[in-house]
A and B are shown apart, each in its own frame.
Chain A
Amino acid sequence: MALHSAIKGKLISVIGDEDTCVGFLLGGVGEINKNRHPNFMVVDKNTAVSEIEDCFKRFLKRDDIDIILINQTYAELIRHVIDAHTSPVPAVLEIPSKDHPYDASKDSILRRARGMFNPEDLVR
């Protein structure tokens, strides 16, 4: 208990493909807590969408996670869940994966920004 309270700061969690996970884990973000819950999830081509969704929701519920990194391709699969999450903590960051470059028009927050405008009469 004393050890636990000594730790300050929150975690970064990762949902991504093998290379993304390996990379960020090498960077030292990984943790497995006392209840044996890891803060990362490796998604491969056999992973079902519902699994990603469950994992994402689990991360949202944990109060020791401050940032959730998710590959944009997988974020696309569970877009409705991400759009529904509006509170600033934990922050959901859509990061590009190695074979899908970052697409600004898919990012939840930028889409929200675009929704602020309502073009009426466009100039051609």
Chain B
Amino acid sequence: MTADNCKSDKNATGQLLDSLYLDMFHLIEEHTQCRLDIERTNASGAILLARTKFQQGGQSLSSAQIPTENSAEFNALCRVVDKTDDDKTDKVSIERHSVDKENGYVEPLHWFSVLPPMSLRTAVERFKKSIELVAESTNLQRELAKVLNGIDRLRRSLAL
């Protein structure tokens, strides 16, 4: 009886490990794909930023305009919120706050110019898209980490 039990247990472990491995391959592919998407969106955003620089002179978009430790405090427009859905996996997504000067939600475009040109606006759209992708990529990375952990622990439980 116990031998039988042990065998079915081992069977279950083996099958679980198999599907974990397959899941890992899927996740790796998706993970890479997602990073590539981020790369692509970022690149097109960077080109638009470069165009803005070209049109407005080299100093129009630089780190000098970014607020530093000495500037006034302000809040982030987009935040990561947990969206745990029914299948029990932690999912994050991006929530965007509307611009609200009184409460410290400032429009970042206005650090750079009062009348932003079209290319800069499009660049902002690209980077917003990229932030969404980042959230997606985070989900995938966490899932992958979980699967890797699972594989590792299962393997060691098999070895026991």
Contact = CB atoms under 8 A, between A and B. Distances in A.
Interface of A: 3, 7-12, 18-34, 36-40, 42, 44, 66-67, 69, 86, 88, 91, 93-96, 98, 101-102, 104, 107, 109-110, 112-113, 116
B42 A11 contact: no
Contacts of B77: 28-29
Interface residues of B, number: 60
B131 A12 contact: yes
A26 B111 CA distance: 9
A26 to B, nearest CB: 5
* Chain A residues touching B, majority SS: mixed
18 contacts: A3-B103, A7-B79, A12-B80, A21-B66, A22-B63, A22-B66, A26-B127, A27-B124, A28-B77, A31-B75, A38-B68, A40-B66, A69-B134, A88-B90, A110-B28, A112-B148, A116-B24, A116-B151
A111 B35 CA distance: 15
A102 B138 CA distance: 16
Given A23-B130, A101-B39, A102-B36, A31 B66 contact: no
